[in-house]
Amino acid sequence: MAWRIEPLSAAHRDRLLHFEERNREYFAHFIPDRGDAFFEEFDQRMHALLDAQSAGTDLFHVIVTHAPETPEPAREPTACAEEIIGRINLIDVDAGQATLGYRVAESVSGRGVATWAVAKICELAVRSYELRVITADVSHENPASRRVLEHNGFQEAGATSWEGGSGVRLRRCL
């Protein structure tokens, strides 16, 4: 299965909402739930993300793949549609540094998507965004995410906490 990282655009809106809705319960196992307001105000949130991206303060991306659509009985061959299987973002971009955040769909969890995406975003961070340092916060409830980061050269940089949780901050110098 081929994966690709694309900068977030307005064209991703419907597929991104579907991705978030479909994986809401799964994500809540690792990070605080975004709440109903996130989904009710999704269009406003999407516009805010695109505005921040245009300003260069945040760099949002989606991880996409080709997934077979459910064929109708009379259709052959099966068409393919691009499916969002993850998000990977560099936020608070400033002075050559940024914070990494990512999430992958439950359906592809454990298949190497996150490890691949973190490696690719680190390449993009250097080549396209001229970043030198990336940090990432990982909850104690998500050891798999910590392994993904460590596999990609991130090292522990201390403890961290946020509303509803605590974890470890990891850092990578690029």
- Provide the domain count of the chain: 1
pLDDT tens across the length of the chain (174 residues)? 689 999 999 999 999 999 999 999 998 877 777 888 888 999 999 999 999 999 999 999 999 997 555 454 444 444 446 899 999 999 999 999 999 999 999 999 999 999 999 999 999 999 999 999 999 999 888 899 999 999 999 999 999 988 878 899 999 999
Distance CA 36, CA 48 (A): 18
Residue 18 in tokens: 């579907």
Closest CA to 8 of 92, 69, 64, 66: 64
pLDDT tens per residue, range 94-119: 999 999 999 999 999 999 999 999 99
List the CATH number of the domain containing 56: 3.40.630.30
pTM of the entire predicted model: 0.86
CA atoms within a 13 Å half-sphere pointing along the CA-CB vector of 7:
14
Distance CA 126, CA 54 (A): 19
Give the range of the structural domain holding residue 33, as residue numbers without chain letter.
3-173
Residue whose token pair is 């081929």: 2
Query: What are the backbone dihedrals phi and psi of residue 69, each rounded to the nearest 5 degrees, phi first?
Result: -80, 160
pLDDT tens per residue, range 69-93: 545 444 444 444 689 999 999 999 9
